[in-house]
């Protein structure tokens, strides 16, 4: 029997890493605070003029090559981003054009950090119905565009000095959110393979939690949808209630994992890897405790990249494939929660 699995992976991180110490030049924070509260030590930022579809392109090429395919063999694109190139159209079609496969259907999904369980459910449906043979799933983010500073040169290695008082105060106001996010892209090619299967997926959305992480400006409730006043009031910068999201994640992620494993008749102990969204090492630590699973089965790379939103799980998978940790036949349990709120889990036999 053949079933849905990951055929190839790729990742791309732009530019040189930016350390926690560098962030302390532009806002009131410290390397110690960031590392202790989140596990993050550095992150990357997309340069000016580089959008999510640009970050996705090299990652997608690597994933297609790793799957032993050519771009023309991709017959569906699922593009996850909360920082698209344009308000519209979506970035998926842009990526298709950049890959040289115009005409291939491309969906943009807006599930933020919960991208992967939703994408896997959709890709599995496309593959099992025969609507597609090879689905390219992308997570790509260019958060740099909403960061609350303009002194990018102060973040470069070897830079000295600090932002002026007004800029420093403004960035500090957003520090709880700003230190967490980083840019990058991960790509997965999903297809069917003998012995593999998507055992199940379970996904949820609850819009009652939408104010916990939201960008106020640039929405079409407003006339015009964007204006200078919104920018002056920093409404283009996400407002995040970190504690509420933290609490939601540590309650909802273990619950959805347990429910999915029960539905699929899979004991937690038989899962080889729990691949969790990388929002905060302390969230994943709490999930480990709650599920009672060995921490070594819950890999982490947040130290190097920060929270790359939809890209965290694809980037982590690419690292694990390329360093030989992931092997055919292993059982993977994915879990993620993001703005919306959206959350879910997926079980896959590689």
By CB under 6 A, name the binding residues for ligand ACO.
Answer: 29, 33-34, 37-38, 112-113, 175-176, 179, 213, 240, 242-243, 245-246, 279-280, 307, 309, 338-339
262 carries an active-site annotation: no
Contacts of 92 by beta carbon, 8 Å cutoff, 6+ apart: 77, 78, 79, 106, 107, 108, 138
CB closer to ligand ACO, 196 vs 302:
302
User: 44, 80, 113, 280: which one is catalytic?
Assistant: 113
Which H, E and C letters describe 168-203, residue by residue? HHHHHHCHHHHCCECCEEEEEEEEEEECCEEEEEEE
Query: CB-wise, 101 or 279, nearer to ligand ACO?
Result: 279
* DSSP-H helix ranges across 13-139: 20-23, 31-38, 52-66, 91-99, 115-129
Q: Which of 80, 284, 307, 342 is catalytic?
A: 307
Please identify, using beta-carbon distances, which residue of 7 and 177 lies nearer to ligand ACO: 177
Residue 91 CA to residue 52 CA, distance in Å, equals: 7
Choose between 213 and 326: whose C-beta lies nearer to ligand ACO: 213
Cβ 28 to ligand ACO, closest distance in Å? Answer: 6
Q: Are 254 and 162 in contact (CB under 8 A)?
A: no
Residue 7 C-beta: closest distance to ligand ACO, Å: 27
307 is catalytic: yes
Residues β-bridged to residue 191: 5
| SS3 readout for 21-40 | HHHCCCCCCCHHHHHHHHCC
Least distance CB 209 / ligand ACO (angstroms): 11
The residue among 43 and 134 lying less far from ligand ACO, judged by its C-beta, is 43
- Residue 134 CB, nearest distance to ligand ACO (Å)? 28
Which tokens belong to 212? 């916990």
Catalytic residue, from 44, 134, 174, 277: name it: 277
CA distance to 27, 197, 228, 343, per residue, from 169 (Å): 7, 51, 20, 34
- Residue 301 backbone dihedrals phi, psi, to 5 degrees: -135, 15
Least distance between ligand ACO and beta carbon 137 (Å): 17
Active site (annotated) includes residue 210: no
- Active-site positions read 113, 277, 307
């Amino acid at each position: 029997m053949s079933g849905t699995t990951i055929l190839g992976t790729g990742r791309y991180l732009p530019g040189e890493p930016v350390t926690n110490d560098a962030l302390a030049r532009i806002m009131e924070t410290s390397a110690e605070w960031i590392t202790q509260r989140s596990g993050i030590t550095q992150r990357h930022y997309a340069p000016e003029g580089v959008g999510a579809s640009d970050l996705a392109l090299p990652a997608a090429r690597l994933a297609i090559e790793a799957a032993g395919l050519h771009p023309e063999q991709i017959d569906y694109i699922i593009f996850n981003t909360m920082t698209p190139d344009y308000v519209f159209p979506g970035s998926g079609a842009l990526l298709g054009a950049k890959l040289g496969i115009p005409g291939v259907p491309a969906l943009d999904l807006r599930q933020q950090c919960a991208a992967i369980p939703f994408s896997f459910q959709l890709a599995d449906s496309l593959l099992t119905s025969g609507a597609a043979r090879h689905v390219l799933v992308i997570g790509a983010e260019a958060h740099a565009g909403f960061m609350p500073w303009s002194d990018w040169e102060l973040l470069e290695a070897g830079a000295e000095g600090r932002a002026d008082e007004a800029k420093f105060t403004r960035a500090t106001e957003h520090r709880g959110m700003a230190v967490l996010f980083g840019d990058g892209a991960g790509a997965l090619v999903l297809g069917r393979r003998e012995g593999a299967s998507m055992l199940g997926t379970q996904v949820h959305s609850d819009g009652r939690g939408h104010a916990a992480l939201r960008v106020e400006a640039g929405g079409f409730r407003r006339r015009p949808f964007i204006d200078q006043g919104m920018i002056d009031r920093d409404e283009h910068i996400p407002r995040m209630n970190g504690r509420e999201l933290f609490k939601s994640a540590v309650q909802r992620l273990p619950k959805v994992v347990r429910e999915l494993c029960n539905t699929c008749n899979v004991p937690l102990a038989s899962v080889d890897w729990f691949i969790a969204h990388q929002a905060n090492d302390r969230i994943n630590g709490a999930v480990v405790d709650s599920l009672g699973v060995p921490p070594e089965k819950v890999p982490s790379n947040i130290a190097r990249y920060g929270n790359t939103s939809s890209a965290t799980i694809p980037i982590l998978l690419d690292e694990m494939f390329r360093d030989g940790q992931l092997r055919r036949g292993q059982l993977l349990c994915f879990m993620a929660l993001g703005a919306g709120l959206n959350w879910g889990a997926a079980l896959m036999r590689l």
